[in-house]
Amino acid sequence: MIDSNGPVLNTRLVNAMQEMLKDNNEKTRSKMISALMGSTMLSPVVRQIAVTEEAMKQGNARFKFTMIQNDKGDKYFMAFTDWASLNKWKKEEGQQVVHMEFDDFAAIVLRKGSNMAGFVINPYGENVTIPRELIISLKKQKDERNNH
């Protein structure tokens, strides 16, 4: 994760999501997943005060990831493909933005004790949900590929 205001463009991912939303089939889903796996996205976070004096001395900042909830009460982290998509979200006091890849989202969604249902890409645009079950499957496939 990198805290930065640099350019982030995911034209390939946005196009693949839009194509999948128009015609959701195995080919368009595969194309979207492939684009996702190579993308760096933006995620809003709020920096929190370090909890312990030792953490403050070490400069260990703690961040709270901004979440969104669906009608069923499921919580998702937010991922934005570009600054224009992020700007559709309300800015919270103390909000910063980090650059994250699929593995970063997988790590926080799948960490022990997490009750997160997944992450959602461009919730105020394409609104593509990547549920926990899909994250588990993609992570497993990626790890198997990397081990061969």
Spatial contact of 73 and 134, defined as CB atoms under 8 Å apart:
no
pLDDT per residue over 120-131, tens digit each?
999 999 999 999
Residue 143 scores a pLDDT above 60: yes
What distance in Å separates the CA atoms of residue 139 and residue 145, rounded to the nearest whole number? 10
Spatial contact of 125 and 85, defined as CB atoms under 8 Å apart:
yes
Average pLDDT of 37-57?
A: 72
pTM of the model: 0.83
pLDDT the model gives residue 50: 52
Spatial contact of 119 and 77, defined as CB atoms under 8 Å apart:
yes
pLDDT per residue over 8-23, tens digit each?
889 999 999 999 999 9
Per-residue pLDDT band at 42 (split at 50, 70, 90): very high
Nearest to 131 by CA among 112, 116, 111: 116
pLDDT per residue over 75-115, tens digit each?
999 999 999 999 998 777 778 888 999 999 999 999 998 89
pLDDT the model gives residue 8: 81
Q: Find the DSSP H helices in 3-131.
A: 11-22, 26-37, 53-58, 83-86, 102-110
Residue 2 scores a pLDDT above 50: no
